[in-house]
């Protein structure tokens, strides 16, 4: 189990199809514990990976940035404040290989009003063939 994670988050991270060199997008990162664990798994000296942790909450983003100062400084991780339904790649930003979310209301049915828009934004942020995992289950993006 990854250190510093709850059993629930550890199970999610353990189940993700991660490989060195991957670009991974976390939606709804909260304080960033899962993103840091993923960054450690996708980063290797020869094939560095990258994790972008996102959250709509300014408080969560501040906590994630504070907790991931080392990962951010070394270029293995970034943190961005954005709601998933408003997510767009920035100019020159490479698409992601994998996106994942844990208990994000717009994706798990608690707040369905923006669900379709959120899925479209995730699909647009992934490379062709990219995968999306919500609460431990892969979600097909059409």
Please tell me the predicted confidence (pLDDT) of residue 38: 96
| pLDDT tens-digit series, residues 78-97 | 999 999 999 999 999 999 99
Mean pLDDT of 122-142: 93
- For the entire predicted model, the pTM comes to 0.93
State which H helix or E strand residue 128 sits in.
strand 126-134
Give CATH for domain 21-138.
3.40.50.150
Other beta carbons within 10 angstroms of residue 135's beta carbon come to 14
- More confident: 73 or 5: 73
pLDDT reading at 2 higher than 60: no
| For residues 13-40, average pLDDT | 95
Higher pLDDT: 99 or 110? It is 99
CA atoms within 13 A on the CB side of 49: 23
Compute the mean pLDDT over every residue in the chain, rounded to the nearest whole number: 92
């Amino acid at each position: 189990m990854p250190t510093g994670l709850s059993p629930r988050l550890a199970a999610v991270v353990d189940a993700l199809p991660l490989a060195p060199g991957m670009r991974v997008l976390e939606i709804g990162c909260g304080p960033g514990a899962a993103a840091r664990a993923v960054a450690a798994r996708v980063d290797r000296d020869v094939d560095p990976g990258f994790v972008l942790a996102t959250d709509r909450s300014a408080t969560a983003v501040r906590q994630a940035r504070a907790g991931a100062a080392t990962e951010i400084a070394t270029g293995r991780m970034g943190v961005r404040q954005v709601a998933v339904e408003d997510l767009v790649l920035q100019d020159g930003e490479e698409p992601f290989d994998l996106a994942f979310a844990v208990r994000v209301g717009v994706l798990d049915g608690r707040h369905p009003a923006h669900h379709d828009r959120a899925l479209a934004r995730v699909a647009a942020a992934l490379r062709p063939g990219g995968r999306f995992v919500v609460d431990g289950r892969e979600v097909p993006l059409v």
